[in-house]
């Protein structure tokens, strides 16, 4: 059965893929947003650190140059690359070019830097350390930042340039790698989300397939193959238990209908036979007529009792009656009083302990009435009183009800079957009844968390009863 459900679930899977797709897309979307946000912030932070570092190095070189020319008078030859000991520190990607007093190139840089009018004015400036800066200066295929510092006294100037194109190339490469990494992470997240969604929704797919299979075939005997202890596993086990109870309920209904049909055949057949005799009632002697009418009345009563007990049995399985706090001792007194008026028998009620419990009064009264009527029916001599014992609590929350008689008792073979529907012992088949009274007692006890019981009474007779609020 499990294999058929799995195969059938695989055929139905396209209709259920939306949840899986939604989960995978949602997982990938959240991951993509987080990855993009982290990637952008990381790249901006890294790019800013690199640019700030490059700018701080360049600013330090320019400031050192300004301090040097301000401290002492210097001319272009002092900064010539051919003058040992007078060259300024040249960090990586830094170029130095020296200008003469007229702004001409005294010592070219490598590569040579462009000289603008503002640079020539700085070369002729009277004050040492005067500076002019140029952003984004194109030198060949590279981009530089250039600062021109005056030597003072119109003696010339020194140009310091730093290449920024390599830094931007590095940042662009970093940006590309970041984008590739983000794309890889998003793709991996999508695949992982799909796998995770498949793993999570697979039990739901099987559960949905089982539900649809039940709806399509109306077969409740389907085992749901769901494992695990998470919410999905709990749902699967709850669904499995629900199907089991529905299957059991369907089986109980089927057996009830079959048994009821079987039991109804006997009185109905007898009624049809007697009704056919009514056509010749004028030909029958008076004694036979009276016997025929009495049989019809008895069969009608038995049929009525059987139908009423079937209705009571079906009503006993329902939960329409609201539970309330009741005292079983008071309920036993009411049932005993009613039975005394009906049968004329002596009925004794004994109680001990706290006999109050939560239950449905109508169901419990019907169960107790069935026990008393059953005792009166089998104890036909009526020499000893029928006894009702109500004891509580035998265990916490449990109340025990017993009905004792001095009838013929119950054989060992019948003890395990007296609560079955329509079961009647061999010596009771000649007595009126349908065989449903004790079955109703069992159903009522089970509905109240208890159990029905029966055993032989010492000295003769039987003890039949039930518990409420706990298993016997």
Kindly report, residue by residue over 52-63, the tens digit of the pLDDT: 777 787 888 888
Find the mean pLDDT for residues 464-471. Answer: 80
**pLDDT above 90: residue 401:** yes
Pick from 7-16, 203-212, 220-229 the range whose average pLDDT is largest. Answer: 203-212
Higher-pLDDT residue of 137 and 432 is: 137
Q: Name residue, tokens 């050192």.
A: 64
Q: Which tens digits make up the pLDDT trace of 117-128?
A: 888 888 888 888
How many whole angstroms separate alpha carbon 101 and alpha carbon 122? 9
Picking from 182-196, 215-229, 266-280, 351-365, which range would have the lowest pLDDT averaged per residue? 215-229
**pLDDT above 90: residue 81:** no
pTM of the model: 0.45
Q: What is the SS3 assignment for 137?
A: strand
- Give the per-residue pLDDT at 204: 75
Q: How many CB atoms lie within 10 A of CB 115?
A: 18
How many whole angstroms separate alpha carbon 344 and alpha carbon 168? 112
Q: Which tens digits make up the pLDDT trace of 264-296?
A: 666 677 777 777 777 777 777 888 777 777 777
Contacts of 47 (CB under 8 A, 6+ apart): 171, 174
- Pull the structure tokens for residue 80: 């010539």
- Pull the structure tokens for residue 275: 């009704």
Find the mean pLDDT for residues 361-380. Answer: 84
Mean pLDDT of the chain: 77
Higher-pLDDT residue of 224 and 58 is: 58
Higher-pLDDT residue of 100 and 273 is: 100
Q: Please, what sign has the CA dihedral across residues 440, 446, 449, 454?
A: positive
Find the mean pLDDT for residues 242-252. Answer: 76
Picking from 167-181, 306-320, 350-364, which range would have the lowest pLDDT averaged per residue? 306-320
Helix, strand, coil % (nearest 5) of the chain? 55, 15, 25
Helices 231-278 + 165-217 axis angle, to 10: 10
Name the percent of the chain lying above pLDDT 70. Answer: 78
- Give the per-residue pLDDT at 304: 76
Number of helices and strands (H, E) in the chain? 9, 12
**pLDDT above 70: residue 111:** yes
Helices 437-447 + 361-378 axis angle, to 10: 150
Name the percent of the chain lying above pLDDT 90. Answer: 8
Half-sphere exposure of 185 (CA within 13 A, CB side): 17
CB 267 within 8 A of CB 433: no
How many whole angstroms separate alpha carbon 148 and alpha carbon 128? 11
- Give the per-residue pLDDT at 466: 93
- Give the per-residue pLDDT at 72: 83
Taking the chain, what is the end-to-end CA distance rounded to the nearest angstrom?
36
Query: Which band of pLDDT confidence, cut at 50, 70 and 90, is reported for residue 352?
Result: very high
**pLDDT above 50: residue 23:** yes
Q: Which tens digits make up the pLDDT trace of 295-336?
A: 777 777 767 766 766 666 565 555 566 888 999 999 999 999
Higher-pLDDT residue of 30 and 15 is: 30
């Amino acid at each position: 059965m499990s294999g058929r459900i799995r195969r059938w679930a695989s055929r139905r899977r396209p209709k259920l893929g939306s949840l899986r797709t939604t989960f995978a897309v949602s997982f990938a979307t959240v991951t993509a947003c987080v990855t993009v946000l982290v990637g952008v912030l990381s790249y901006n932070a890294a790019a800013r650190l690199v640019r700030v570092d490059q700018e701080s190095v360049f600013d330090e070189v320019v400031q050192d140059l300004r301090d040097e020319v301000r401290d002492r008078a210097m001319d272009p030859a002092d900064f010539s690359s051919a003058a040992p000991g007078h060259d300024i520190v040249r960090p990586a990607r830094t170029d130095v070019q020296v200008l003469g007093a007229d702004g001409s190139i005294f010592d070219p840089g490598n590569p040579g830097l462009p000289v603008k009018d503002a640079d020539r004015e700085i070369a002729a400036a009277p004050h040492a350390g005067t500076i002019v800066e140029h952003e984004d200066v194109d030198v060949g295929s590279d981009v530089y930042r250039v600062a021109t510092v005056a030597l003072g006294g119109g003696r010339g100037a020194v140009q310091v340039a730093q290449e920024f194109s390599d830094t931007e190339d590095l940042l662009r490469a970093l940006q590309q790698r970041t984008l590739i990494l983000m794309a890889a992470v998003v793709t991996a997240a999508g695949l992982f989300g799909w796998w995770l969604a498949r793993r999570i929704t697979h039990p739901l797919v099987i559960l949905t397939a089982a539900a649809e299979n039940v709806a399509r075939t109306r077969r409740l005997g389907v085992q749901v193959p769901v494992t695990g202890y998470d919410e999905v596993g709990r749902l699967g086990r709850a669904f499995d238990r629900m199907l089991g109870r529905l299957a059991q309920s369907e089986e109980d209904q089927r057996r009830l209908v079959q048994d009821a049909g079987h039991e109804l055949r006997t009185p109905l057949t007898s009624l049809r036979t007697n009704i056919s005799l009514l056509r010749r009632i004028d030909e029958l002697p008076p004694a036979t007529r009276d016997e025929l009418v009495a049989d019809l009345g008895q069969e009608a009563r038995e049929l009525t009792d059987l139908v009423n007990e079937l209705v009571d049995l079906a009503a006993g399985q329902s939960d329409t009656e609201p539970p309330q706090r009741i005292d079983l001792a008071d309920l036993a007194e009411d049932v005993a009083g009613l039975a005394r008026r009906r049968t004329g028998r002596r009925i004794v009620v004994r109680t001990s302990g706290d006999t109050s419990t939560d239950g449905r009064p109508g169901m419990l009264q019907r169960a107790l009435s069935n026990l008393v009527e059953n005792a009166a029916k089998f104890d036909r001599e009526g020499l000893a009183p029928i006894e009702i014992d109500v004891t509580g609590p035998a265990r916490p929350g449990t109340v025990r009800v017993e009905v004792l008689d001095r009838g013929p008792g119950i054989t060992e073979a019948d003890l395990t079957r007296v609560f079955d529907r329509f079961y009647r012992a061999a010596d009771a088949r000649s007595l009126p009844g349908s065989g449903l009274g004790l079955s109703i007692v069992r159903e009522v006890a089970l509905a109240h968390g208890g159990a029905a019981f029966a055993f032989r009474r010492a000295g003769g007779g039987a003890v039949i009863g039930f518990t409420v609020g706990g298993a016997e």
